[in-house]
Amino acid sequence: MKKIIAAFDGIRFSESTMQYAIYLAKESKAHLVGVFLRESTALGFAFYEMVARGSISGNKLFDDIENSDKASLRESVAKFVAACGEANISYSVHQDKKNAVEELIHETLFADLLVIDVWETFSYIENKMPGWFIKQVLHETHCPVLVVPRKFRPIEKLIYLYDGSPASVHAIKMANYVLPELTKLKTELLSAINKNAAPLLPDNKLVKEWVSRHGSGTRFTVLKGGETGLMNRLSKETNQSLVVAGSYQRSRLSMWFHESLANLLMRKIKTPVFIAHL
């Protein structure tokens, strides 16, 4: 039985993370762990913001925020437990109380997949997407990550992003090994090339031979226009596709799977994105 972890800000609970995690755990008969994190600095940001406004005394403010956060956390955990019980899946709950990013990265060492909302920030003040928290987790994670949009939709199609690099091949391997149940879905392998390049897949024969062992009827598509062409194509996908991409870190061997593209994927398209490191 595989272990999937779903990361939650216990104060601002992500329904989408819960729904995707339960959906995948049920499909793969995996054990699901709800990891409820709390970023201690977030309380500090809220405190200083309200003190600056002169709205309330320091001691009372800390007490009010602490009590409110505890109530929100209890409500979030109860919602997760109830949903897992209704889905009849194996589950457990971890409540981590120290540094949120460090705790989560440590948890990924003992997991097969992490599910997290692309908007997760664990901050009262950050509103960029993807934010510092997501970027840090993607760089340091010890397992593949499924970054999910805010609205849940059942997955009906797999899209593999392939450029011939070890990073892109590794991502496809990990998606197949971690979520083999999804290989029965409609599948497309996309490869983007520069406009003057020959319209051929890198290692054409080998990749087709290998991918065909992990599912039937895969469609192989070569796009012209490089990264721009790729993003234009992906922007037309429905939010019921799952995009599989290579390492978040820049690779000398890959012209696509670097930080800027990963950020574009998370900002511009509305599908969940499966990201794996070598």
How do residues 16-63 score in pLDDT, each as one tens digit? 999 999 999 999 999 999 999 876 544 444 444 544 455 555 555 556
Domain limits, the chain: 3-148, 157-275
Q: Are 137 and 9 in contact (CB under 8 A)?
A: no
Residue 2, φ and ψ in degrees, nearest 5: -75, 165
- Sorting pLDDT into bands at 50, 70 and 90, what band is 231? confident
Instruction: Give which of 128, 153, 120, 129 is closest to 267, Cα–Cα.
Output: 129
pTM: predicted TM-score of the whole model, two decimal places: 0.86
Res 260 pLDDT > 60: no
157-275 folds as: Rossmann fold (3.40.50)
Do 3-148 and 157-275 share a fold?
A: yes
Other CB atoms within a 10 A radius of the CB of residue 154 amount to 9
The answer to whether the beta carbons of residues 256 and 193 sit under 8 Å apart is: no
In terms of CATH architecture, what is 3-148?
A: 3-Layer(aba) Sandwich (3.40)
Contacts of 261 by beta carbon, 8 Å cutoff, 6+ apart: 227, 245
Q: What is the pLDDT of residue 97?
A: 73
